[in-house]
Amino acid sequence: MAYNLKEEMNKAERFHSGHRLCAGCGAGIVCRAMMRAVDPEDRAVICNATGCLEVSSFQYPFTAWEDSYIHTAFENASATASGVEAAYRVMKKKGKIAENENVKILAIGGDGGTYDIGFQSLSGAFERGHDFTYFCYDNNAYMNTGTQRSSATPRFASATTTPSGTESLGKKQNQKDLTQIMVAHGSPYVAQTTLFGNMKDFHEKAHRAIYKEGPTFVNVLTPCPRGWQYPAQDLIAICKAAIDTCVWPLYEVVEGEYHLTYEPKKKLPVEEFMSKQGRFKHLFKPGNEWAIEAAQEYVDTKWEELLQKCK
Amino acid sequence: MITKAKDINEKISWKDLTTGCEIYEPGTSVLTKTGEWRVRTPKWVVDKCKQCLLCAPYCPDASIPVEDGKRMEFDYEHCKGCGICINACPFDAIVWEDEAE
Amino acid sequence: MSIRERMSGNEAIATAMRQINPDVFAMFPITPSTEIPQYFAQYVADGKVDTEFICVESEHSSLSACLGAEAAGARAVTATSSAGLSYMNEVLYVAASLRLPVVLAVACRALTGPININHDYSDSMAERDSGFIQLYGENNQEVYDNYLMAHRIAEHPDVRLPLMICEDGFITSHALENIELEEDDKVKAFVGEYHPENYLLKKENPLAVGPYGVSGYYMEARVAQAYAMKNAKKVILDVAKDFEKTFGRSYGFFEEYKMDDAEIAMVIMGSSAGTAKACVDELRREGIKAGLIKVRVFRPFPGEELSKALSNCKAVAIMDKSEGFSACGGPLFAEVSGACINMDKRPKMVDIVYGLGGRDFTVDAARSVYDRLSSIVETGEVGEIYTHMGQRE
């Protein structure tokens, strides 16, 4: 069914107001959109890793979720989801859940709970092939504890454990390419998206992921105004810059086949993305031009690799 | 045991807490009025609004209600005033209240 | 009719699981508990159960998957030992605080280091504050019987706590012994189906599990959990009563062996009790008033009942099969001596740490303990309160 914003927005809300995420937090937008991608007649169970989203969306006795929700710990959202999915299968088999009832099992975590501490359980659940969709709201650092670097933090970003200083230009390593790693697991559907102005790309990918049988993965670049140091209202502009500079390309991998879902008419230089955020401020001081060049070179190489795969 | 979130507060006895601090109803977060956090307030300029709805999904706080395909007035009880909607609007139909003429 | 069989503790646990036919079994292997999921995998392969058997990538995940399954509305089980239990540590506390009645079989084994695969209680004792109910068995029969009672205790609405079934690694888990098994349909009828009131997959209303709890709620939540553990005492006895009525074997919080007129006694757990009982028999033949208490239920700890049972003794040795590194005694000693603190007349007490990492415990060793108790009674001198036994000097 073709995407229709009006129809989407007419749907009943499944991630409610009153949650305690910071003003302008991208994760709130992600959760609302994720839940709109579950068909209204279907129920969902959300398995959430510890993080900003968890402490903000279910603070006793206030849950922001319309659907059932479980948080157990930081590193085990995928393992918890595996258990929910196993229970769903066996309860259907035993007739405890009616044949025509459809429950979608979703897991969601930040980059800390996904790229790093939760990676083992994520990898295990994907190898086992549980029928669930994992959404990562990748905000490029451990934001719940105050912007410590993660393996998703891009090179040269200043984080509180990789601060810029007289001897440092921020994080030394490039971002781990988790999306590719999830493709390598043989997942039937893996995609990258972000919040760049319309919701069609996000919605279609989320819907495909949720309704594709097997373990599927959606990686969402999700700005954090505090951690990235930009005015909250600029979220869309930053995401747009991320896709136009190819820092965060939009693509999906369906049964191993790569599809680019957005190709910028004119690929912009990485400065367009970096200059909007305080975490890269130090790169724009005289003498640090080499760092921006290195960042550009890395983005160009990754982009070329992706184009090859999408051919 | 008190089961309804609206009746659970920091004055009730431990005996009245739900087992394992579970909650058995949806969306109880609406009871938290996050509108109190707001420093600046976005204002909907109805005359300029083309009802394109681009703003609605971009509100992290579900504070731009949509009914029958049309956006309604802001839910100021929950809007935190982040201003994402201001930049989402292509028609200048949302402005900061303190900058409105 | 009971069925006379011969099998190991691991097979007895796997058999109980097969009879109960849990909804989900999430496993990760570790010696000496590995056989439990192995036996069970064969039941799955042969269509004897309709359990979802998932082979996860770690113990942290096996218990996490059990929590997801249990919260979703399914009966979930797992098994582990030693480092595996330690790796679960974080999730054990989560299970108890979420009040999810998962049943976990533990073939108790030493913790590293040095790395060692043999029996002691360093793994299960390290988790004594996790909020799990802990039932210990002396032999395969007790372990099997404990397992048949486990789900009913854990899932009782007044309790709703996870439960550990502890057997001694290798000694009980691997040794073949005679056992009386019960018939499948009788076991099923005794254990019953799992019917939680609220669960994630319930159609009528959603369930939200695992919130952030501010200080205004945390204390209350923990007190509620503490009372659930208190409630477990009554439920454990009620279920045991029904078990005795159904299957004829009787269980309490602990077993009192020749305690009626005992002047000296040992408080001990697990398979070592069998050895110590042989010693008690010898001593009784010699006219020495020796007795023994074998603790079956360590959590909730039956402090009041135990102190009463010891009240007429003159000297008692608490036998700890794990080190607490407190420099003043092991975990069982801390519990028993603490439980006796307000008694008007209480026995002298010493703590003996023994049997670590599979170090043998013999009838002679038990006799040396009773000899020491006799000399305490004679001289009135306790001597060193906290000592080790069985190590080379």
Following DSSP, what letter does each residue of C91-120 receive, concatenated? HHHHHHHTT---EEEEEE-PPSSS---S--
- Evaluate whether C130 touches C96 at the Cβ level (below 8 Å): yes
Mean pLDDT along residues B17-34: 98
Pull the structure tokens for residue C230.
Answer: 């208190």
Q: Which residues of B touch A225 (CB under 8 A)?
A: 82
Say how far apart CA C115 and CA C123 lie, in whole Å: 13
H or E, element range at A158? none
Per-residue pLDDT tens over the stretch A119-150: 999 999 999 999 999 999 999 999 999 999 99
CA of B88 to nearest chain C CA: how many angstroms apart? 32
Chains that touch B (3 or more CB pairs under 8 A): A, C
Choose among B54, B61, B66: nearest Cβ to A17.
B61
Chains that touch C (3 or more CB pairs under 8 A): A, B
Q: Which residues of C touch A55 (CB under 8 A)?
A: 212
Q: What is the pTM of this model?
A: 0.98
Which residue in C70, C94, C97, C99 has the most chain B C-beta atoms within 10 A of its own C-beta, making it the best mutation to test that interface?
C99
Q: Which residues of A touch B83 (CB under 8 A)?
A: 24, 231-233
Helix extents (H) in A46-113: 52-57, 77-93, 111
> Is A1 a residue whose pLDDT tops 70?
no
Say how far apart CA C277 and CA C284 lie, in whole Å: 10
pLDDT of residue A206: 98
pLDDT of residue C1: 79
pLDDT of residue A122: 98
Nearest residue of A to residue B96, measured between CA atoms: A233
Amino acid (one-letter) located at A47:
C
Q: How long a stretch of residues is chain B?
A: 101
Choose among B10, B20, B26: nearest Cβ to C99.
B20
C201 touches chain B (CB under 8 A): no
CB–CB of C221 and B21 under 8 A?
yes
CA distances for C248 relative to A137, C115, C145, C180, C234, angstroms: 57, 41, 11, 11, 20
- Evaluate whether A66 touches A44 at the Cβ level (below 8 Å): no
pLDDT of residue C312: 96
Choose among A76, A97, A127: nearest Cβ to C60.
A76
Pull the structure tokens for residue B70.
Answer: 């049309």
* Nearest Cα to Cα of residue A133 among A177, A91, A191: A191
H or E, element range at A67? none
CA C61 to chain centre: 22
Residue-wise burial string across A151-187, b where 16 or more C-beta atoms lie within 10 A, e elsewhere: bbbbbbbbbeebebeeeebbbeebbbbbbebbbeeeb
- Print pLDDT tens along chain C (393 aa): 799 999 999 999 999 999 999 999 999 999 999 999 999 999 999 999 999 999 999 999 999 999 999 999 999 999 999 999 999 999 999 999 999 999 999 999 999 999 999 999 999 999 999 999 999 999 999 999 999 999 999 999 999 999 999 999 999 999 999 999 999 999 999 999 999 999 999 999 999 999 999 999 999 999 999 999 999 999 999 999 999 999 999 999 999 999 999 999 999 999 999 999 999 999 999 999 999 999 999 999 999 999 999 999 999 999 999 999 999 999 999 999 999 999 999 999 999 999 999 999 999 999 999 999 999 999 999 999 999 999 999
Say how far apart CA C50 and CA A35 lie, in whole Å: 32
